[in-house]
Amino acid sequence: MGSLYGVNIETLNGIGKRRAELFNKLNIYSVGDLIEFYPRRYEDWSVIIPIEDAEDNQTVCIKATVSSYINSVRTKGGRLLTKFSAFDETGAVEIIYFNNKYIDSMLSYGETYLFYGKINRNISGYQMISPMFSKKENSNGMHPVYKQTQGLQNRVIENAVKTAISMLPKVINDPLPNVIREKFNLCDYDFAIKNIHFPKSENDLQKARKRLICQELLILMLGMNNLKNRDKTKTTLKLKKDFTEEFYSLLPYTLTDAQKKTIKACIDDMMFNSCSMNRLVQGDVGSGKTAVAAAVCYNAVKNGWQAAFMAPTEILAEQHYQSLSKIFKEKNITIDLLTGSQTPSQKKKIRENIASGKSDLIIGTHTLITDKTEFKNLGVVITDEQHRFGVAQRAKLLSKGENPHLLVMSATPIPRTLGLIIYGDLDISIIDELPPGRQKVDTFLISGKLRQRACNFIKKQINNGNQAYIVCPLVSEGEADLASAEEYAAELMLKEFSDIGIGILHGKLKAAEKDKIMKQFESGELSVLVSTTVIEVGVNVPNATVMMIENAEMFGLSQLHQLRGRVGRGKEKSYCILVSDNENPDTLNRLKTLCKTNNGFEIADADFLQRGPGDFFGERQHGLPQLTIADFADKTNIEISKEMCNYILNNQDEFCKREINTLNACIKRLFNKGGSNIMN
């Protein structure tokens, strides 16, 4: 099979240079690609309708004999028109094709075919335009419908696939080893390929699908595992002394057991492992991940390394800079902040400090990993809110320094099954405990009619000396009816909170302005912060006790949960008010999940069930290879594939070299598809 990836589709009968280009548009370059171009859906040709019973506009399969010579003429407009009639025992139909110069060579007078397509009924009788057709003997059943592109019809693809399949060798190197197929009761590759394209029955199709889905997921998981292990060359970066106890004494609070356990896992990684740390910390909002990062930084610096701590936004980087500076203030550690909005000369100076080793701990945004930044002695890299960093970015990070230790922190709980895949390349620690004394954020769902009352409630909180967030989905008016931060704030200032300090925060503001507003809010100078989702990640103002979210239906549940995590950070009771005028019961039910639970993992599961995996990544930000048949929401098959993956990894000696090589070739192909070259 492998060799067919090297055979250009142009070598197939009926595919010339021009057609090949059309196939290329569908990302099909080789015969192997074509074999893996699975149908989108199927048409059922097994139910044959008598012409007489067909209804106008119905999609039907009829069995009819061509009863006139097949005539092609040019219309005045220059189109090629092919027309003939056909009949069965009940009636006749006129069949028409446009611009298809091959039709008359493919169909013949007096022969019987199955025709599949839309039928029209008018005064002059029945008519079918460009139906698909097939010689009756071999097509009683399901027909594949492929993704098409302009100028490349389904029939052409179907025939090309048929030819491609006929080129499969008699004995195929099945990507799934025998042992695995037997153990997990999956059909062989030959059966799967033939039946995914031309299933003999629904049952066979399902068998084929299941096998191909599991295969793809398995290949993905094995590939992720390779990524995890590929840089496992021996590290020279080993902690000599553990400074964690000393670190504890710098904090004004006692760490939770979950935090301590996580820190210990990191220290163990860096002290005893022969390879660099490659660890993910997953912890719900407010679980205290920053303290874990700080502990790791402290150990690194005290052992003579540099540490880099990256955040996805400048606000967050600034905040980490402030809070770590505070913790370490007595400790003679040089901390620097490096962000995109600093002036070139500032950046230059800080980069010099980093390169010379003057800076011990560097906190910043993505700027930190640009090629311009050189480290003297980088020992560990920490990235906060890792769902914004894809697999490829993680790889880039690791190219800085001599394979530094890597810790990624995520506040987005991921459903377990999905985590199995996306975090396949990382060891995982979960902080499953919140610091003591945290209260549940009471959450309410209201319609716009109750907004006035909600505002009164917010005013009451403010009069008690607390602060409030109001979140809107958009920056400025443009899309109808969506509350926009700017206009919304203007209106509030006039109407509701005329005597109260309001700040507006959104992504389009200059960094310095954002900074100023954030500081004013942190210091309490501003009581209300009207904001787009820029506050979603990490912002920490414990005095804020209420958040109102407008157009709540616009957000994913996990995102709302993140937003809500901005309140309930202090000692006082906190509230979240979701405003939505949406009337769709499904939408409202979805939002009510948040009123019921504060557990991020539960919410992630609900979100995943309802909206699929897109929410967890944004637009393909996960950096994973694109799947052709499997799907990240397919829990059942993900579980099965994980078992297969573990079995293969744990029982390597049961597989022969050929089987391992075949799997490896598949991994390489999947990960390098679309030129992503994640894996070399």
**CA trace torsion 353, 359, 365, 369 (10° rounding):** 70
Binder of ligand ADP out of 30, 195, 215, 256 (CB under 6 A): 256
Length of the chain: 680
What binding mask, one character per residue, do residues 27-66 give for ligand ADP by CB under 6 A, x or -?
----------------------------------------
Binder of ligand ADP out of 177, 283, 415, 613 (CB under 6 A): 283
Among Mg ion, ligand ADP, none, the one that 32 touches (CB under a kind-dependent 5 to 8 A) is: none
Shortest Cβ contact with ligand ADP: which residue? 288
Binder of ligand ADP out of 290, 306, 417, 558 (CB under 6 A): 290
Pairing of strands 112-122, 132-135: antiparallel
Determine the interface stretch with ligand ADP among 502-510, 518-526, 535-543, 669-677 (rule: CB under 6 A): 535-543
Please tell me the count of residues contacting ligand ADP according to CB under 6 A. 18
Give the number of other CB atoms < 10 A from CB of residue 159.
Answer: 16
Query: Would you count residue 390 as binding Mg ion (CB under 5 A)?
Result: no
- Shortest Å, Cβ 503 to Mg ion: 21
Query: Would you count residue 413 as binding Mg ion (CB under 5 A)?
Result: no
Q: Which helix (H) or strand (E) holds 370?
A: none
Place of tokens 């199995």: 420
**Where does residue 127 rank: exposed (0-12), middle (13-18), buried (19+ CB within 10 A)?**
middle
Query: Would you count residue 283 as binding Mg ion (CB under 5 A)?
Result: no
Query: Would you count residue 518 as binding ligand ADP (CB under 6 A)?
Result: no
- Shortest Å, Cβ 659 to ligand ADP: 44
Binder of ligand ADP out of 286, 413, 415, 503 (CB under 6 A): 286
Place of tokens 């021009």: 18
Near ligand ADP in 561-580, by CB under 6 A: 569
30 strand-pairing partners:
8
Q: CA-CA distance, 481 to 498, in Å (whole number)? A: 23
Q: CA-CA distance, 443 to 128, in Å (whole number)? A: 58
Near ligand ADP in 406-445, by CB under 6 A: 411, 435
Residue closer to Mg ion (CB basis): 461 or 533: 533
Query: Would you count residue 538 as binding Mg ion (CB under 5 A)?
Result: yes
Residue closer to ligand ADP (CB basis): 207 or 320: 320
Determine the interface stretch with ligand ADP among 34-42, 45-53, 341-349, 538-546 (rule: CB under 6 A): 538-546
Determine the interface stretch with ligand ADP among 284-292, 299-307, 365-373, 572-580 (rule: CB under 6 A): 284-292
DSSP-assigned states of every residue in 204-242: HHHHHHHHHHHHHHHHHHHHHHHHHHHT-SPPS---SS-
Determine the interface stretch with Mg ion among 286-294, 429-437, 585-593, 604-612 (rule: CB under 5 A): 286-294
Residue closer to ligand ADP (CB basis): 287 or 461: 287
**What residues contact residue 30 under an 8 Å CB cut-off, 6+ apart?**
4, 5, 6, 7, 8, 9
- Shortest Å, Cβ 175 to Mg ion: 41
Place of tokens 């459903």: 415
What is the largest distance, in Å, between two alpha-carbon atoms of the chain?
A: 97
Q: CA-CA distance, 517 to 515, in Å (whole number)? A: 5
Among Mg ion, ligand ADP, none, the one that 287 touches (CB under a kind-dependent 5 to 8 A) is: ligand ADP
Q: Report the helix count and the strand count for the chain, using DSSP H and E.
A: 23, 22
Determine the interface stretch with ligand ADP among 128-136, 268-276, 285-293, 642-650 (rule: CB under 6 A): 285-293
Query: Would you count residue 286 as binding Mg ion (CB under 5 A)?
Result: no
Query: Would you count residue 285 as binding ligand ADP (CB under 6 A)?
Result: yes
- Shortest Å, Cβ 28 to ligand ADP: 46
Query: Would you count residue 255 as binding ligand ADP (CB under 6 A)?
Result: yes
Pairing of strands 575-579, 544-549: parallel
- Shortest Å, Cβ 175 to ligand ADP: 41
Query: Would you count residue 291 as binding ligand ADP (CB under 6 A)?
Result: yes
Determine the interface stretch with ligand ADP among 164-172, 251-259, 388-396, 594-602 (rule: CB under 6 A): 251-259
Place of tokens 């979701």: 578
Query: Would you count residue 287 as binding ligand ADP (CB under 6 A)?
Result: yes
Query: How far is residue 147 from each of residues 23, 143, 154, 164, 395, measured CA to CA in Å?
Result: 11, 13, 8, 17, 33
- Shortest Å, Cβ 571 to ligand ADP: 10
- For 441, the token pair is 């954020």
Near ligand ADP in 313-332, by CB under 6 A: none
Residue 311 and residue 363 in contact, taking contact as beta carbons nearer than 8 Å:
yes
DSSP state of 573: -
Radius of gyration of the chain (CA): 31
- Shortest Å, Cβ 169 to Mg ion: 54
Query: Would you count residue 353 as binding ligand ADP (CB under 6 A)?
Result: no
**CA trace torsion 522, 527, 532, 536 (10° rounding):** 40
Residue 349 and residue 329 in contact, taking contact as beta carbons nearer than 8 Å:
no
Q: Which residues bind Mg ion (CB under 5 A)?
A: 289, 538
Residues within the interface to ligand ADP (CB under 6 A): 253, 255-256, 259, 283, 285-291, 411, 435, 538, 540, 542, 569
